Amino acid sequence: MSSSFEQSHVEFRHRPTYAEVCLNSLRSNLRAIQAFVGDAKVMAVIKANGYGHGFEQVAKTLEAAGVHSFGVAYIEEAIELRKLGITHPILVFGGLLKEQLDLYIENDVQVTASSVTKMEQIEEAAARLGRRAKVQLKIDTGLERIGVHYYTAPTLFDAALKSQHCEVVGVYSHFADVRREDLSTTKLQLERFLESLRYFEERATAPFLRHIAASGGLMALPESQLDMVRPGLSLYGVYPSAGLDSLLKLNPVLSLKSQVVYFKVVQKGAGVSYGHTWVAPEDTRVVTIPLGYGDGYLRRLSGNSEVLIRGQRSPIVGAICMDQLMVNVGQGVAYNGDEVVLFGQQGTEQITVEEVARASGLSPYEILVTLNQRIPRVFVGN
Ligand SMILES: *Cc1c(COP(=O)(O)O)cnc(C)c1O
């Protein structure tokens, strides 16, 4: 892995903007979550390029650190993991079409069986291939996404119990809304899940994993941890909602950094960037940073984000362009080549993804996964 580290450094010499991904923090977050959930297994959720952190490094680091299994959204992601040499169990959460089933079975990827029809299709594909399919049954307890409704769950359970070619590895559900200040919906969903499970528990002949909690649930409602938890965001050191940081100490894994590439004084009354949405109220020092919405640093963050330069917070002003953005350093000092931190720490100051999410009305999930391949990932803490 040291060679890819060096390679990344070469890339970041070409591009002053990069995302620093600290693999030690990733490992310590996994350890913290594992300690918090005790005997429950941890399925690491690494869909969408490991929430923007880098699929391969995240997967290999977590596999080596002893995670139980991986969760992804699409079969393509699961196949990519297998190609990278990941041998741990992989569950695909998303809905599927029957044409995709051979890929699941051939790559030993667990299928989400979300209806009786899907269950029958999986059974048929497994029989045709002469292989056993591993399935996890999906119960909808209130998200109204994929999954059989909790009140008709016995139909799916019966189909699974009848199957000759499928092994039921787990039964799971997903919370719609986890907010610590009001857990009523979360608790209701957990109740519905446990209640519907009883039917299967009475009839199943082999052990299986029951799980419902992602990052928010495992922290805010520990009784929802059950046999397994499925953290995504928290593994990357980011809290899904307010009021959870007192429960579990996490370290942000990703820092977004760049450098000042231009300095100018904007005269009082001059508009900055497209549309002149910001006009200098007085003669103002403005620097340009080579990062924009074409990198996934969304336009929505204009007027809502600050950056760190020389240890000081300075606001982004004017519309964020595709490849550049402008920062008001006021009467402060900044030189070409100065380090700019958009997420992360500089000196004693820190800008968190959560803070930017709150200010912009975006979710921390969106902010991370939107950072695209144009931004080199530099892995540290190996
Ligand atoms: C994305 C996802 C998760 C992870 O959620 P976080 O809030 O990031 O922890 C868990 N389970 C399912 C089904 C998901 O789609």
CATH number of the domain that 289 lies in? 2.40.37.10
Given a cut of 60, whether residue 1 has pLDDT beyond it is no
Domain count, the chain: 2
Section 99-118 average pLDDT: 98
CA proximity to 234, closest of 373, 77, 37? 37
Q: Is residue 15 part of a domain?
A: no
Quote the pLDDT of residue 298: 96
Given a cut of 60, whether residue 3 has pLDDT beyond it is no
Choosing from 93, 141, 221 the residue with most ligand 1 atoms within 8 A of its CB, the one to mutate for a pocket test is: 93
Section 282-300 average pLDDT: 97
For the record, the structure tokens of 254 come out as 């990703």
153 with 300, same domain: the answer is no
Residue 297 annotated to the active site: no
Give the DSSP per-residue string, 132-152.
Answer: PEEEEEEEESSS-SSSEEGGG
207 with 276, same domain: the answer is no
96 with 162, same domain: the answer is yes
Q: Which of ligand 1's atoms lies nearest the C-alpha of 235? A: 9
Whole-number percent of the chain with pLDDT over 70:
96
92 CA from centroid of ligand 1 (Å)? 11
Query: The domain that contains 51 carries what CATH number?
Result: 3.20.20.10
Residue 150 annotated to the active site: no
Q: How many CA atoms lie within 13 A of 293 on its CB side?
A: 9
134 with 36, same domain: the answer is yes
259 with 228, same domain: the answer is no
47 CA from centroid of ligand 1 (Å)? 9
218 with 82, same domain: the answer is yes
181 with 329, same domain: the answer is no
Q: What letter would DSSP give residue 245? A: T
Q: Is residue 312 part of a domain?
A: yes
Q: Which of ligand 1's atoms lies nearest the C-alpha of 47? A: 1
Last residue of a domain, one of 185, 202, 236: 236
**Which domain covers residue 270, as residue numbers?**
254-351
171 with 287, same domain: the answer is no
15 CA from centroid of ligand 1 (Å)? 32
Given a cut of 80, whether residue 172 has pLDDT beyond it is yes
Given a cut of 50, whether residue 88 has pLDDT beyond it is yes
Q: What letter would DSSP give residue 74? A: S
35 with 175, same domain: the answer is yes
323 with 281, same domain: the answer is yes
From 162, 262, 264, 274, active-site residue: 274
Q: CA separation (Å) from 373 to 9, 57, 326?
A: 15, 14, 22
Q: Is residue 360 part of a domain?
A: no
Q: Is residue 122 part of a domain?
A: yes
Quote the pLDDT of residue 4: 44
Mean pLDDT taken over the chain: 95
Ligand 1 proximal residues by C-beta, below 6 Å: 45, 47, 71, 93, 174, 214-216, 230-234, 240
74 residue type, one letter: Y
55 with 191, same domain: the answer is yes
Choosing from 45, 173, 368 the residue with most ligand 1 atoms within 8 A of its CB, the one to mutate for a pocket test is: 45
223 with 289, same domain: the answer is no
**Distance (Å, rounded) from C-alpha 214 to C-alpha 218?**
6
